[in-house]
């Protein structure tokens, strides 16, 4: 028995020694057969970088807004895209391949070019395959790394990591200073937040028709008066919805070079019933675009208001100060009316709402309208309609003098402070941001 155990042990050790020797020979053979690198990484000097003027700040809204363009350029001096890669050609007609690994923001991306002349340094701007659905869902800042791998003639030469700080999709880039302190305006990106394709709008139009301000949605099929009535119907809907003014800081400065504004998406305005001047402009403009109207957003320093053409040939323009929706709170008014009538079903005249509500809202009535309301000759629905109509007229005139004084500034394409953003024209370059 002892001999058998020793013999078995001897054979076991021999087998393990044989296996170890075989693995060693295999590794030596592998090392011996491995092809030496042809291209020197230090000579190729591969570089990958993010746009220097954005200072590593990545704006999802900028990428989504121009996603339909085959050449995503942003007008930032010589660096016309978000990323750049540079190499020195180690041989004539060498094939360069750059792979960008997947991350939480992008899919694997492959970029390939031929480097015609040896010793020449080449710079390219690869377009990244973004995960657009993920970009839309970003609501707070974060950090991610993008890995760029350089291949020359299928040989891996070098690897670089580029770290970017991504912003919320609600952050809209306003302007960027380049190295010469020249200001590049990006407020054309407001058009990306105008979303005539949003699925909520069909049900909104149905609600608008039920409210009875207009009986048909006709766009420009009729006269200018019909167009204004359709816009007033949208206005009345916004009041009934209770969309009120809610200020957000005009700009934030994440870097020394860039200014940014937070803009709410269409569904955020609809659900939260809050909007600043830009939010409300894009909300109204979205519905206007859906029914075939031509809205224009007028942007001044720290303010924006809406305009729209009353004819398809753009001969006549009307204005709309959207923040005036905050002058009234129709949901609160309706609640007060219902509570008062529940307590006193026979209430007449001004007694149908509280004294506080009468004091707040009667100032929007003419003397004759106020008398009709006090005498009980005006229904509650008519009361709201009259108030809505009167402040709609005020919203039309609110910016008239200001607009007339600044017409030349709006018409000057080189003026960075005053912008006239024609949404229909911008649609050729900027698409709606969708989830």
Write the CATH number for 208.
3.10.620
In this structure, the answer to whether residues 261 and 409 fall within a common structural domain is: yes
Cβ proximity of 46 and 86 under 8 Å: yes
- 272, 403: one domain: yes
218 and 73 within one domain: no
Q: Determine the pLDDT at residue 8.
A: 43
Question: Which of 169, 201, 217 is the endpoint of a domain?
Answer: 169
Residue 24, C-beta contacts closer than 8 angstroms, at least 6 positions apart: none
Residues 345 and 276 in one domain: no
**Domain check: are 143 and 263 in the same one?**
no
Same domain, 180 and 133: no
Q: Which residue, of 123, 149, 169, is where some domain finishes?
A: 169
Is residue 104 domain-shared with residue 55, that is, in the same domain? Answer: yes
Mean pLDDT of 39-65: 94
Q: Are residues 216 and 141 in the same domain?
A: no
Q: Are residues 311 and 419 in the same domain?
A: yes
What per-residue confidence (pLDDT) applies to 1? 42
Q: How many domains does the chain have?
A: 3
Domain extent at residue 358: 330-391
Average pLDDT, the chain: 89
Structure tokens at 229: 């009535």
pLDDT digits (tens, 9 = 90+) for 80-99: 589 999 999 999 999 999 99
Same domain, yes or no, for 347 and 302? no
Q: Are 103 and 200 part of one and the same domain?
A: no
Over residues 330-357, the pLDDT tens digits come to 999 999 999 999 999 999 888 999 999 9
Alpha-carbon distances of 175 from 24, 184, 251, 277, 417, rounded to whole Å: 62, 5, 10, 18, 10
Domain co-membership, 189 together with 295: yes
Task: Please give the pLDDT value at position 218.
Answer: 96
**20 in a structural domain:** no
Whether 281 has a pLDDT exceeding 50, the answer reads yes
How many CB atoms sit inside 10 A of residue 275's CB? 28
CA distance to 143, 257, 262, 379, 421, per residue, from 418 (Å): 34, 20, 19, 44, 10
Q: What's the whole-model pTM score?
A: 0.86
């Amino acid at each position: 028995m002892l001999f058998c155990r020793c013999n078995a042990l001897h054979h076991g050790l021999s087998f393990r020694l044989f296996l170890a020797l075989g693995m060693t020979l295999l590794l030596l053979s592998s090392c011996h057969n491995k092809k030496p690198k042809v291209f020197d990484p230090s000579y190729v000097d591969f570089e990958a970088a993010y746009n220097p003027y954005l200072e590593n700040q990545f704006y999802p809204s900028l990428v989504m807004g121009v996603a339909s363009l085959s050449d995503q350029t942003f007008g930032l001096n010589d660096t016309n895209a978000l990323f750049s890669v540079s190499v020195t050609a180690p041989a004539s007609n060498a094939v360069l391949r750059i792979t960008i690994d997947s991350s939480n923001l992008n899919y694997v991306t492959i970029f390939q070019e031929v480097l015609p002349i040896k010793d020449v340094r080449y710079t390219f701007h690869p377009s990244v395959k973004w995960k657009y659905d993920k970009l839309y869902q970003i609501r707070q800042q974060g950090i991610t790394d993008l890995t760029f791998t350089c291949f020359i003639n299928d040989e891996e030469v070098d690897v670089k990591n580029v770290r970017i700080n991504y912003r919320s999709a609600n952050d809209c880039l306003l302007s960027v200073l380049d190295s010469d302190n020249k200001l590049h305006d990006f407020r054309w990106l407001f058009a990306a937040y105008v979303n005539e394709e949003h699925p909520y709008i069909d049900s909104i139009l149905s609600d608008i028709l039920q409210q009875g301000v207009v009986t048909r949605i006709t766009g420009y099929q009729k006269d200018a008066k019909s167009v204004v009535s359709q816009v007033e119907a949208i206005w009345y809907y916004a009041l009934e919805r209770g969309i009120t003014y809610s200020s957000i800081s005009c700009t934030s400065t994440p870097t020394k070079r860039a200014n940014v504004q937070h803009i709410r998406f269409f569904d955020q305005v609809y659900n939260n019933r809050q909007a600043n001047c830009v939010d409300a402009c894009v909300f109204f403009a979205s519905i206007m675009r859906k029914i075939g109207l031509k809205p224009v957003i007028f942007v001044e320093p720290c303010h924006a208001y809406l305009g729209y053409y009353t004819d398809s040939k753009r001969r006549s323009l009307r204005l709309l100060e959207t923040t005036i929706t905050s002058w009234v709170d129709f949901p609160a008014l309706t609640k007060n009316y219902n509570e008062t009538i529940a307590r006193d079903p026979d209430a007449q005249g001004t007694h149908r709402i509280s004294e506080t509500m009468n004091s707040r809202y009667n100032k929007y009535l003419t003397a004759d309208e106020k008398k009709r309301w006090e005498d009980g000759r005006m229904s509650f629905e008519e009361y709201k309609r009259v108030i809505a109509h009167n402040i709609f007229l005020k919203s039309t005139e609110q910016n008239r003098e200001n607009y007339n004084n600044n017409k030349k500034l709006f018409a000057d394409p080189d003026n960075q402070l005053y912008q006239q953003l024609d949404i229909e024209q911008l649609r050729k370059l900027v698409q709606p941001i969708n989830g």
